[in-house]
Amino acid sequence: MLTITDGSQLKNNIFEASRIDSGQAKKLGITNVPALALAIPPKEIKILSFSAISGSTLRDRIILVAKDAGGITEQEYASTRPFNDNGYIDSRLLEEMPEGVLNNPEKFVEYIRKAVEKDNLRTKK
C-alpha cells in the first residue's frame, strides 16, 4: 500500500490502494521521505530505504529482509545471488579449464559464468 504523506493525491494515480497518511508514517518511525517500508505479518515492519532507489536495489533489499525475517531459507536466498559471493573461484574450475581459456579474458569470463550456472543448477536440486 502506498501512503502519501504530503496530504495530496498523485496525478494519474496508478496505485489504487494508496491513501493519505493518517498516522502510518509516525507509527512506522518514518521521519524522512521518500521512504519504503515492508510489512512482515503479523506485526513486524522493516524500513527498506529513506530515499529513492532502483528497482534492482529494492528487489535485493526485499530478498534480504525476507531472509532475515525467516520468510525464505538460506538456500533460497543463495539461489537469488548471481554468483558465489565469497569471492573465491573453486580451484577445480581452474584444473578443468580448457587450454588457452586463461589467456583470453572473454573466454575466461564465459567459462566461469557457465561453470557457476552449472554449479547453481546442481545445488538447487
Per 3-state DSSP, the chain is made up of helix, strand and coil in percentages (nearest 5) of 40, 10, 45
d(CA 42, CA 47): 16
Q: Is the pLDDT of residue 2 over 70?
A: no
pTM score:
0.54
Which residue has better confidence, 30 or 91? 30
Other CB atoms within 10 A of residue 68 CB: 12
For residue 94 the three cell numbers come to 581452474
Each residue of 9-62: pLDDT tens digit?
A: 767 777 777 778 888 888 888 888 888 888 888 888 888 998 889 998 999 999
